[in-house]
Chains A and B, each alone.
Chain A
Amino acid sequence: TQLLEQSPQFLSIQEGENLTVYCNSSSVFSSLQWYRQEPGEGPVLLVTVVTGGEVKKLKRLTFQFGDARKDSSLHITAAQTGDTGLYLCAGTQGGSEKLVFGKGTKLTVNP
């Protein structure tokens, strides 16, 4: 059983479109992080959310943490080809040293 479920698994869109990807769990997380990983590279941290209901914006990216701290979403406005990559969510629970990852959403933005 996967602790963090990400959907969709794959997403292919045209440049300029908007999109939302999801990270869901039946468990409560102390914090959730979003990473973007490009082929052949390690994940790069985009944002950390820690408070239920929190919304953070990073240019065209909007991140939301669910009120119950069990889920999160990433919304991209007017996608660009440079947004292409694997988007990973990861979370920590109750003081555990482990960062638990989802399988990721592979996003392709076509010109």
Chain B
Amino acid sequence: ETGVTQTPRHLVMGMTNKKSLKCEQHLGHNAMYWYKQSAKKPLELMFVYNFKEQTENNSVPSRFSPECPNSSHLFLHLHTLQPEDSALYLCASSQGLTGAGYEQYFGPGTRLTVT
């Protein structure tokens, strides 16, 4: 299944680096999401975009900066991260917003390690 793709799949970065995660969906969906999955914690919603507009920021620190240039692409720009930010970052998309009953489809994730 290649409906939602994410690059890179693995990323190691130092605390002073700047990097970006990319997500692309080929499903014709209008909503896109960023999640963080850490060990021993449930998936945490970070950001929601609907028709390129941000509709949710779940109190995410400013060192994470999302960008949604169109309904098919979503980026997560990273700078001055902390070791505790190491996690699996998952992108998802849905036809419409979850609250309206639409199901989310996930990409394979980017495994991020901050050293």
Residues of A within 8 A of B (CB): 2, 4, 30-31, 33, 35, 40-45, 48, 50, 88, 90, 92, 95-104
Contacts and interface: CB of A to CB of B under 8 A. Distances in A.
B66 interface: no
Given A88-B43, A97-B48, A102-B42, A40 B98 contact: no
Nearest to B106: A42
Interface stretch (B14-22, B76-84, B107-115): B107-115
Contact of A44 (B48, B56, B101, B106): B106
Contacts, number: 60
Interface size class of B (residues with CB under 8 A): 20 to 34
A43 B58 CA distance: 20
Contacts of A102: 42
Contacts of B45: 98-99
B104 interface: yes
